[in-house]
C-alpha cells in the first residue's frame, strides 16, 4: 500500500533534518580547515535556513457545508480519536483559518475581529499587531479543550445590511452574498481570520493548513486570493457529491482557485489542484445496488471534471466523515470504502513528491556553487605550494649568499604586493557604488514609486473602469525596472571581470571572472503576479473595487507580494556579491600567508643545512593534505546531493570528516 500523506510528509521532514545536520557538520569541518570564508558561510547558512524553514502549504477551499473541515480532521487529526476542527451539523468554519506551528509562540488560537475590515490595512499588517488579536490558549494534552477552543471559529454576529456590505459581504441576492433576515439584519462571521498555533507533529515539520470557507470569506480578502492561495503547494477544492458543481462553487473555482491565465514557470495548475467529491456516503442507500452507486459517482466525477476543466482522475470521491470514523475505529474495510486512502496517496505523491523535487533542485544548485567556491581557495593554496616548491628546489646546492639574495627578492615581492592595496581599494570603491545602485533599483522605494499611479487610480471614489489599463502600464514599468536591474548586474560583472584581469596581470593573482548574475525568477514572478491580479480589475469585480477599503487592501496586498519578490532578487544579488569578492579576499589572505612562510623557510635554510630538506618535506605533506581535503570536499558535496530515499539513515548519522 502506498504511503499516506502523513507518512510521506514525515519522510520529507526526516530528510530535511538529516540534510540540515549534514550542513552543520560541513560548516564545522570547513571552519577547522580555515576554508569558511564569508561567501561560503553565507551560502551554508541560507541553505540550512531554507531546508529547516521549508513550509508546505495545503489550502482547502470550498463553499460552506461541503465537509472541508471534516476532511481536515480525517487526514490530519484522526489520531486524537475525535473531531478537532468544528464539523458537526450546523457548525462550520466561518473565517479563513491557518494551522501551523511557531515554537516561539504559545500554543493557542488567535482571532482577528471582523471589525478590522473597516481599516484598509492588509492581513500582513495586522499579523504584526499582537494586541489586535484575541488569544485563547490550547492545552495540547486535552482533545476536548482543543475542540472547544477551535469551535470559536464558527461564531457569528448579526449586523445591518449596510454594515455587512461595508465589511465586504456583498449585495443582497448576489452570488455568495449573506442573506438578510426578516428584520433586515445579516449574519456575518465574528472573526476575520484565525491562526491556530499547535505542536502537531506534521505542523512542527513545516506543514501549514489553510482552511478558506465560502465565497464571501475568499472573495473579500485580496491577500487570500492573490497571495496565499496561489502560493499554496496544493489546493484541495471540495465539492458535495449530492449537489455536484453549484454556481457558487464555479465562481470560487474560476475566480480564486484556477485563474484563466496560465502561470508561466510553474508546474501546471492541474498538478497542484485536487478536487474532492465529498459526502459520497449520502449516495449509499439500501434502494441502490453497489453498481448503481458507482455508476452515479462516475457520472458526478465526469460532470464535475468537465465543468472544472480538470482530468477526471483528479476528481476523487471521498467520504471524509466515514474515513474519520474508520480511522478512529480501525475499520479497514470502511476506510477503503470512504475513498480517503486514494485521496491521501494523490496528495502525498503528487504534491509532496513535487515539493521535494523542487527543494532538492534548489539546494543542489547551491551545494555545487559552494563546492566551486571552496575548490577555488584550495586551488589558490595549491598554486602557492607549487611556487614555493619550485623556489626551494632551485636552492639545492646553493651557498648562503644565493639564499640571502633569494630572501631579499621575496621581500621585494612582498613590498610590491603590499602596494596593490590601493589598487584593490579603488576597485572596491567603484564596485560598491555600482552595487548600491543595483540595490536601489530592487528596493522598496522603487516599488512604491512605480505603484504610485495605480494606487491613485484605485483610491479614486466610485467605479474604477480605467484601473486595468493603469495596472498594465504599472507592470510594464516594473518589467523595465527589472530589466534595468539585470543590465546593472551585467555592468558590475563586466567591471569586475576587467578589474580582475588587470590585477592578475599586474600582481600575479589568479582571480577568475565572476559568474554572470542572472535574475530570471524576478521576470517570471512579475509575470505570474500580473496574471494573478488582472482578473480582480475587470468588470466582474467593478462593484468590489468601488469599495475604498477593498481597493486599498488590494493595492497593499499587491505591494506586499512585489516587495517579497524584489527582496528575494536582492538576496540573490547579495549572495552573488559575496561570492564574487570572496575570491579576492581569499587571494589576499593566502598570498600574505605564502610570503610569511617563504621568508620563514629562507631563515630556516640559512640557519641549518637540514632546513631545506625539512621544508620541502613539509610542502610535500601539505600538498598531500590538500589532495585529501579536496577528496573530502567532493565526498561531502556528493553526500548532500544524494537522493533522499534513505532519509531514515541520513537523519540519524552525524556528518563525519576524517582528517
Following DSSP, what letter does each residue of 590-630 receive, concatenated?
Answer: HHHHHHHHHHHHHHHHHH-TTHHHHHHHHHHHHHHHHHHHH
Cβ-in-10-Å burial (0-12, 13-18, 19+) of 563 comes to middle
Q: List, for the chain, all residue ranges whose pLDDT scores fall below the cut of 70.
A: 1-3, 88-92, 170-179, 215-220, 226, 259-271, 286-288, 350-353, 397, 399, 465, 535, 538-541, 543, 606-610, 643-659
Q: What is the per-residue pLDDT for 302?
A: 93
Dihedral sign computed on CA atoms, order 274, 73, 151, 244: positive
Per-residue pLDDT reduced to its tens digit, 37-71:
878 888 888 888 878 777 888 899 988 888 888 99
How far is the C-alpha of 585 from the C-alpha of 428, rounded, in Å?
11
- The x, y and z cell numbers of residue 399, run together, are 651557498
Q: What is the per-residue pLDDT for 71?
A: 92
Cβ-in-10-Å burial (0-12, 13-18, 19+) of 92 comes to buried
The answer to whether the CB of 582 falls within 8 A of the CB of 38 is yes
Q: What is the per-residue pLDDT for 270?
A: 55
- Using H for helix, E for strand and C for coil, what is the string for 279-327? CHHHHCCCCCCHHHHHHHHHHHHHHHHHHHCCCHHHEEECCHHHHHHHH
Pairing label, strands 156-160, 185-189: antiparallel
Architecture (CATH level 2) of domain 56-152+192-338: 3-Layer(aba) Sandwich (3.40)
Dihedral sign computed on CA atoms, order 621, 624, 629, 635: negative
CA dihedral 258, 261, 263, 268 (to 10 degrees): 50
- Kindly list the distances between the CA atom of residue 97 and the CA atoms of 92, 152, 618, in Å, as whole numbers in the listed order: 12, 11, 66
Paired residues of 188 in beta bridges: 157
Return phi, psi of residue 275, to 5°: -110, 130
Q: What is the per-residue pLDDT for 511?
A: 83
Cβ-in-10-Å burial (0-12, 13-18, 19+) of 73 comes to buried
Nearest CA to 98 out of 80, 82, 81, 85 is that of 85
Per-residue pLDDT reduced to its tens digit, 370-388:
888 888 888 888 888 888 7
Q: What is the per-residue pLDDT for 259?
A: 56
Residue tagged 507518512 (cell numbers): 7
Q: What is the per-residue pLDDT for 647?
A: 36
Per-residue pLDDT reduced to its tens digit, 496-509:
999 989 888 887 78
How far is the C-alpha of 535 from the C-alpha of 257, rounded, in Å?
12
Please give the mean pLDDT across all residues of the chain: 82
Q: What is the per-residue pLDDT for 449?
A: 94
Q: What is the per-residue pLDDT for 114?
A: 92
Q: What is the per-residue pLDDT for 3?
A: 57
Q: What is the per-residue pLDDT for 172?
A: 38
| Helix and strand counts by DSSP (H, E) for the chain | 26, 11
Q: Structural domain boundaries of the chain?
A: 56-152+192-338, 156-189, 422-571
**Chain mean position to CA 183:** 48
Dihedral sign computed on CA atoms, order 468, 472, 475, 477: negative
Q: What is the per-residue pLDDT for 49?
A: 82
Q: Helices 548-607 and 420-441 sit at what angle, rounded to 10 degrees?
A: 170
The pTM is what?
0.73
Nearest CA to 615 out of 625, 605, 626 is that of 605
Return phi, psi of residue 403, to 5°: -65, -40
Amino acid at each position: 500500500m502506498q504511503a499516506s500523506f502523513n507518512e510521506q510528509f514525515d519522510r520529507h521532514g526526516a530528510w530535511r533534518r538529516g540534510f540540515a545536520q549534514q550542513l552543520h557538520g560541513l560548516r564545522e569541518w570547513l571552519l577547522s580547515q580555515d576554508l569558511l570564508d564569508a561567501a561560503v558561510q553565507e551560502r551554508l547558512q541560507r541553505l540550512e535556513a531554507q531546508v529547516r524553514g521549508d513550509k508546505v502549504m495545503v489550502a482547502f477551499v470550498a463553499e460552506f457545508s461541503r465537509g472541508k473541515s471534516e476532511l481536515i480532521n480525517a487526514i490530519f487529526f484522526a489520531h486524537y480519536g475525535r473531531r478537532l476542527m468544528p464539523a458537526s451539523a450546523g457548525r462550520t468554519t466561518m473565517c479563513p483559518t491557518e494551522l501551523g506551528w511557531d515554537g516561539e509562540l504559545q500554543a493557542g488560537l488567535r482571532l482577528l475581529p471582523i471589525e478590522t475590515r473597516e481599516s484598509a490595512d492588509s492581513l500582513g499588517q495586522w499579523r504584526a499587531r499582537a494586541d489586535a488579536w484575541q488569544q485563547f490558549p490550547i492545552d495540547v494534552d486535552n482533545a476536548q479543550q482543543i475542540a472547544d477552543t477551535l469551535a470559536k471559529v464558527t461564531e457569528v454576529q448579526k449586523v445591518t445590511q449596510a454594515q455587512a456590505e461595508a465589511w465586504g459581504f456583498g449585495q443582497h441576492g448576489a452570488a455568495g452574498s449573506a442573506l438578510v433576515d426578516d428584520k433586515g439584519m445579516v449574519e456575518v462571521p465574528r472573526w476575520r481570520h484565525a491562526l491556530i498555533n499547535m505542536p502537531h507533529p506534521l505542523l512542527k515539520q513545516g506543514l501549514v493548513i489553510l482552511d478558506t470557507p465560502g465565497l464571501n470569506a475568499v472573495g473579500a480578502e485580496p491577500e487570500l486570493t492573490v497571495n496565499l492561495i496561489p502560493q499554496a503547494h496544493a489546493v484541495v477544492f471540495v465539492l458535495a457529491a449530492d449537489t455536484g458543481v453549484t454556481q457558487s462553487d464555479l465562481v470560487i473555482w474560476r475566480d480564486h482557485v484556477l485563474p484563466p491565465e496560465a502561470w508561466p514557470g510553474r508546474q501546471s495548475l492541474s498538478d497542484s489542484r485536487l478536487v474532492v467529491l465529498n459526502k459520497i456516503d449520502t449516495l449509499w442507500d439500501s434502494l441502490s445496488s453497489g453498481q448503481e452507486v458507482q455508476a452515479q459517482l462516475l457520472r458526478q466525477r465526469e460532470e464535475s471534471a468537465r465543468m472544472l476543466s480538470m482530468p477526471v482522475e483528479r476528481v476523487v470521491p471521498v467520504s471524509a466523515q466515514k474515513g474519520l470514523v474508520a480511522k478512529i475505529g480501525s475499520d479497514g474495510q470502511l476506510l477503503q470504502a470512504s475513498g480517503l486512502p486514494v485521496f491521501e496517496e494523490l496528495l502525498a505523491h503528487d504534491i509532496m513528491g513535487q515539493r521535494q523535487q523542487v527543494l532538492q533542485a534548489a539546494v543542489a544548485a547551491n551545494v555545487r556553487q559552494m563546492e566551486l567556491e571552496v575548490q577555488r581557495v584550495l586551488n589558490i593554496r595549491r598554486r602557492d605550494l607549487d611556487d614555493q616548491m619550485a623556489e626551494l628546489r632551485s636552492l639545492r646546492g646553493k651557498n648562503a649568499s644565493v639564499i640571502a639574495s633569494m630572501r631579499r627578492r621575496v621581500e621585494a615581492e612582498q613590498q610590491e604586493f603590499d602596494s596593490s592595496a590601493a589598487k584593490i581599494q579603488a576597485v572596491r570603491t567603484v564596485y560598491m557604488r555600482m552595487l548600491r545602485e543595483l540595490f536601489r533599483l530592487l528596493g522598496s522605494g522603487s516599488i512604491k514609486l512605480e505603484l504610485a499611479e495605480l494606487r491613485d487610480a484605485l483610491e479614486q471614489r466610485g467605479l474604477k473602469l480605467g484601473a486595468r489599463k493603469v495596472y498594465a502600464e504599472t507592470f510594464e514599468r516594473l518589467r523595465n525596472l527589472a530589466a534595468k536591474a539585470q543590465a546593472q548586474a551585467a555592468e558590475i560583472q563586466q567591471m569586475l571581470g576587467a578589474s580582475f584581469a588587470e590585477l592578475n596581470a599586474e600582481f600575479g593573482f589568479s582571480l577568475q571572472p565572476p559568474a554572470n548574475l542572472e535574475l530570471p525568477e524576478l521576470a517570471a514572478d512579475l509575470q505570474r503576479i500580473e496574471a494573478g491580479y488582472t482578473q480582480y480589475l475587470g468588470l466582474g469585480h467593478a462593484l468590489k473595487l468601488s469599495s475604498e477599503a477593498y481597493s486599498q487592501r488590494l493595492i497593499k496586498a499587491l505591494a506586499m507580494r512585489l516587495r517579497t519578490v524584489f527582496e528575494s532578487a536582492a538576496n540573490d544579488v547579495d549572495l552573488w556579491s559575496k561570492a564574487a569578492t570572496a575570491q579576492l579576499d581569499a587571494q589576499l589572505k593566502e598570498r600574505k600567508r605564502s610570503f610569511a612562510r617563504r621568508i620563514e623557510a629562507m631563515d630556516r635554510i640559512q640557519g641549518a643545512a637540514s632546513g631545506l630538506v625539512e621544508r620541502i618535506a613539509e610542502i610535500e605533506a601539505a600538498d598531500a593534505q590538500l589532495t585529501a581535503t579536496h577528496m573530502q570536499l567532493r565526498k561531502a558535496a556528493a553526500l548532500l546531493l544524494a537522493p533522499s530515499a534513505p532519509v531514515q539513515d541520513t537523519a540519524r548519522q552525524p556528518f563525519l570528516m576524517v582528517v
